[in-house]
Structure 1
Amino acid sequence: MASIIRPALLRQTAMAAAAARPAMRSAFVRDAVRVSAFHASSRKNLLPPGPQVIQGTVNDPAPVPPTSPSHGSYHWTFDRLIAGSLIPLAVAPFAAGSLNPVMDATLCSLLVIHSHTGFQNILIDYVPTGRYPKARKSLMWALNGATVLVAIGLYEFETNDVGVTEAIKRVWKA
């Protein structure tokens, strides 16, 4: 709350000080006007709004999408389970002191799944199907392709190189 009020109080103090001293008035007023102009600027959208299409009439009910447990609470629960299981898997290889390839592969798999579902949730939330059907479909395909490329890269790194946990140990000690 104090940080919200602080610029207004500083501006008022500067205006009062400028009014008290006529010789310094121009610099204070000029700076106060510049700062207040900066804070009072209008909000500019980075992207233009999508197509505004009204389907049906005013008296039609809002369309209710069909329910699906995989896109509702089960999906959220799955995301939370994956996120929660990453915590002990991220600490276990370093705490135990052993490099287990199964544990390393499990950690990499869960990282890929966690990243994929997180980006998928972002696309679902911010690229609506009704407004941008082609963009959403292409972005979902791009996400699937990127997920496959990352999974292949991690597999190659695990099998042909030192692995993720050993790489993190080496970077940490470097």
Structure 2
Amino acid sequence: MASIARSSLLRQSAFAAKSLRQQSVLQNAVRTSAFHTTSRRNILPPPPQRVEGTVNDAVPVPPPSPSHGSYHWTFERLMSAGLVPLTIAPFAAGSLNPTLDAVLCAALLIHSHLGFQSVIIDYIPKKRMPNARKFFMWGLNAATAIVGLALYEFETTDVGLTETIKRVWKA
């Protein structure tokens, strides 16, 4: 019994237990790392980059335009805030007015167009990728026109947006 209490034997057993724990942790780490490690590849290559001018050149100031900047931002905020009562009004009042429905469709269309336009402006820089930005802007304009035509057809030949939402909600 006295041999068990020797400090060297206790140290050896503690070291063995510690190495077993480390070994099991290492095996678990190897098992889980197979799922987490992948090769480091970019999803898309970076766009072409070029430097124009020198460090000391002044930044070109764009010409002032009332349709961009603060007026544009204010119009976006008013459109977003105006959608709240326009969305609630047809359901709260209980009346299905085709004019109110058309105004709601137009407001949703303009709000969506402005939102996607902001995404294109933010993520496709005009200076680095002018052709891609022009392509996406034309695509956005075409999509907005097609969706506007589809909403017009839906409003004039079918039950309309608010009635459709009511029917889906009750289904």
Q: TM-score range by the shorter chain?
A: 0.7 to 0.9
- Structure 2, unmatched stretches of 5+, are 1-15
Give the equivalent residue in structure 1 for 2:4: none
Distance 1:29 1:93, change over 3 A: same
**Kindly tell me: are residues 87 and 49 of structure 1, through their superposed partners in 2, closer, same or farther at Cα, counting changes over 3 Å?**
same
The separation in 1 between residues aligned to 2:38 and 2:61, in whole angstroms, is: 39
TM-score by length of 2: 0.81
**Which structure's CA Rg is the greater one?**
2
Work out whether 1:91 is the aligned partner of 2:81: no
* Pair 1:120 & 2:117 matched: yes
Greater relative CO (CA pairs within 8 A, separation 6+): 2
Q: Which runs of 5+ in 1 are unaligned?
A: 1-18
User: Which residue does 2:129 correspond to in 1?
Assistant: 132
Helix, strand or coil at the partner of 2:118: helix
**Counterparts of 1:125 and 1:159 in 2: how far apart (Å)?**
36
Deviations 1:108-153 (A, max 9, x none): 0000000000000100111011111111001100000000000000
Could you tell me the percent identity over the aligned residues?
63
Instruction: Say whether residues 1:69 and 2:93 are aligned partners.
Output: no
Deviation at 1:68, TM superposition (A): 2.0
Deviates more, 1:76-85 or 1:30-39: 30-39
1:148 to 145, 150, 158: 145
SS at match of 2:67: helix
Report SS of the residue matched to 1:52.
coil
